[in-house]
């Protein structure tokens, strides 16, 4: 199976500690080297930041040659204008493609630009998409307001209900099945092989928002998914200092998205691409540390008398533990849990934590903590939030790369006050 070649064998070296001459390069080697030119301008080791809005032509003949190769030929080997492409952006796109075992990647100015540009680029008027619930709130809002206004309907089905996905498919109208895995905030894990199979049988394309997993923990293309999307703002950038998004997939599909990006305009600036490439070099190290700490924290919390429930796919108590174990190499750095408290006392617990910052977002080197009832759903009442499945005592903890023991000690002292 593809996934055996692409994943288990590739990582065979680090897993069993033996030298495997036939193994493909592992994720950390790819994160450092993949996609980069070995010889760069000025013999620089790092990819230069090509900070330019446009590119010059020596004379009219050079411009004519460029036009002929881009219109009728193989495509030109150079850039024309900043909205159509940039060498710093190209370099990080090649690295992102390799990490997800994809042909190609297209980078956007944010995760939401990736979501909106992809859907606007591929969906015709009168079409229909299926989306699983427990997904990023802005993605759902985009579908239910903007796409709705354009005559594109969305069916939202419960996460984990594959019969409901299949039942929602409308013949000749449904174009996309969209899911996240793991999800926010309950870390639900989709059975990717099953979703890919439904898509193939009904000729519907599939998209997974894999932001919470990263290519280190899960590679949906290896399971037959058509498009994978990441908010690179989170783990890929990894330092809470940039916004970006990426879509990876087959070459022809990504080329079409790149053409559409030239019209929609969502390309990031070259400095962001540079920061992302730099952040990616340590992706495997960071994610492995975050996986380790998160599992230790999840087990600690589950055993703690002041904790009512822990949501982490690496715990046997999680509804998707079996799927996660079969499909993921690690379970990621985000844990959600319910403390024995109400809106106010849960906030007081968070305030006693010394290491994490109170902030939205996740996946960076700094631990972040938040109460979804306040940060994402404060405009609703407790009852409305409950109807959406968001309890007032729910806490989302995004583990950073601080020492595991320090995070455990911090939780221990903060919980003692509950």
Ligand X SMILES: *Cc1c(COP(=O)(O)O)cnc(C)c1O
CB of 237 to ligand X, least distance (A): 9
Q: Is 107 in contact with 246 (CB distance < 8 Å)?
A: yes
234 is an active site residue: yes
Give the residue among 207, 196, 200, 198 at the shortest CA–CA distance from 257.
207
Check 100, 134, 191, 209 and give the catalytic one. Answer: 209
83 is an active site residue: yes
Stretch that binds ligand X, among 70-78, 84-92, 110-118, 331-339 (CB under 6 A): 110-118
Q: How many residues does the chain have?
A: 418
Q: Is 245 an interacting residue with respect to ligand X (CB under 6 A)?
A: yes
**Which residue of the chain is nearest ligand X when measured via CB?**
111
Stretch that binds ligand X, among 11-19, 106-114, 309-317, 393-401 (CB under 6 A): 106-114
Check 136, 186, 227, 377 and give the catalytic one. Answer: 136
Check 98, 188, 234, 385 and give the catalytic one. Answer: 234
Quick one: which of 11, 27, 86, 110 contacts ligand X (CB under 6 A)? 110
Q: What is the pattern of x (binds ligand X, CB under 6 A) and - over residues 184-223?
A: x------------------------x-x------------
Burial class (CB in 10 A: 0-12, 13-18, 19+), 94: middle
Q: Is 157 in contact with 131 (CB distance < 8 Å)?
A: yes
How many residues sit in the footprint of ligand X (CB under 6 A)? 13
Give the nearer residue to ligand X in terms of CB position, either 180 or 222.
180
For the chain, the farthest-separated pair of C-alpha atoms sits apart, in whole angstroms, at 76
Q: Is 234 an interacting residue with respect to ligand X (CB under 6 A)?
A: yes
Quick one: which of 231, 240, 293, 327 contacts ligand X (CB under 6 A)? 231
Give the nearer residue to ligand X in terms of CB position, either 12 or 332.
332
Give the nearer residue to ligand X in terms of CB position, either 142 or 349.
142
377 is an active site residue: no
What SS3 state is found at 370? strand
Distance CA(281)–CA(50), nearest Å, equals: 19
E strands within 351-393? 357-358, 368-370
Stretch that binds ligand X, among 227-235, 256-264, 272-280, 320-328 (CB under 6 A): 227-235
Stretch that binds ligand X, among 87-95, 107-115, 196-204, 365-373 (CB under 6 A): 107-115
Tell me the β-bridge partners of 106. Answer: 247
Distance CA(353)–CA(252), nearest Å, equals: 48
The string of DSSP codes covering 187-243 is -----HHHHHHHHHHHT-EEEEE-TTTHHHH--GGGGT-SEEEEETTTTTT-SSS--
209 is an active site residue: yes
What SS3 state is found at 332? coil
What are the distances in angstroms from CA 44 to CA 36, 41, 219, 364?
12, 6, 32, 27
Binding site for ligand X (CB under 6 A): 110-112, 136, 180, 184, 209, 211, 231, 233-234, 243, 245
- Residues involved in catalysis: 83, 136, 209, 234
């Amino acid at each position: 199976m593809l996934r055996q070649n692409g994943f288990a064998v590739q990582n065979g070296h680090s897993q069993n500690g033996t030298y495997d001459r036939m193994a493909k390069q592992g994720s950390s080697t790819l994160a450092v080297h993949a996609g980069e030119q070995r010889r760069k301008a000025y013999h620089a080791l790092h990819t230069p930041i090509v900070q330019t809005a446009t590119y010059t032509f020596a004379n009219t003949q050079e411009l004519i040659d460029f036009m002929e190769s881009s219109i009728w030929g193989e495509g030109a080997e150079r850039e024309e204008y900043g909205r159509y492409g940039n060498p710093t952006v190209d370099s990080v796109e090649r690295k992102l493609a390799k990490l997800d075992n994809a042909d190609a990647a297209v980078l956007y100015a944010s995760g939401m630009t990736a979501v909106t540009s992809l859907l606007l680029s591929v969906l015709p008027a009168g079409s229909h998409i299926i989306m699983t619930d427990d997904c990023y709130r802005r993605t759902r809002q985009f579908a239910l307001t903007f796409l709705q206004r354009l005559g594109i309907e969305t069916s939202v089905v419960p996460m984990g209900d594959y019969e409901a996905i299949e039942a929602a498919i409308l013949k000749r109208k449904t174009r996309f099945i969209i899911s996240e895995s793991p999800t926010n905030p309950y870390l639900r894990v989709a059975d990717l092989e099953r979703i890919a199979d439904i898509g193939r049988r009904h000729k519907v394309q599939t998209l997974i928002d894999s932001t919470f997993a990263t290519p280190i923990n899960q590679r949906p293309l290896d399971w037959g998914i058509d498009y994978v999307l990441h908010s690179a703002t989170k783990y890929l950038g990894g330092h809470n200092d940039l916004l970006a998004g990426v879509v990876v997939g087959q070459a022809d599909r990504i080329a079409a998205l790149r053409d559409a990006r030239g019209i929609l305009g969502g390309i990031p600036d070259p400095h962001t691409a540079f920061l992302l490439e730099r952040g990616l070099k340590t992706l495997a190290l960071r994610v492995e540390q975050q996986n380790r700490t998160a599992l230790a924290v999840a087990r600690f919390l589950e055993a703690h008398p002041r904790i009512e429930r822990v949501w982490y796919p690496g715990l046997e108590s999680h509804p998707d533990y079996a799927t996660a174990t079969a499909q993921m190499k690690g379970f990621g750095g985000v844990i959600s849990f319910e403390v024995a408290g109400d809106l106010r006392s849960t906030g007081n617990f968070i305030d006693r934590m010394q290491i994490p910052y109170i902030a939205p977002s996740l996946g960076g080197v700094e631990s972040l903590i938040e109460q979804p009832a306040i940060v994402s759903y404060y405009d609703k009442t407790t009852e409305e939030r409950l109807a959406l499945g968001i309890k007032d005592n729910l806490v989302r903890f995004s583990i950073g790369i601080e020492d595991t023991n320090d995070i455990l000690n911090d939780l221990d002292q903060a919980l003692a006050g509950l």
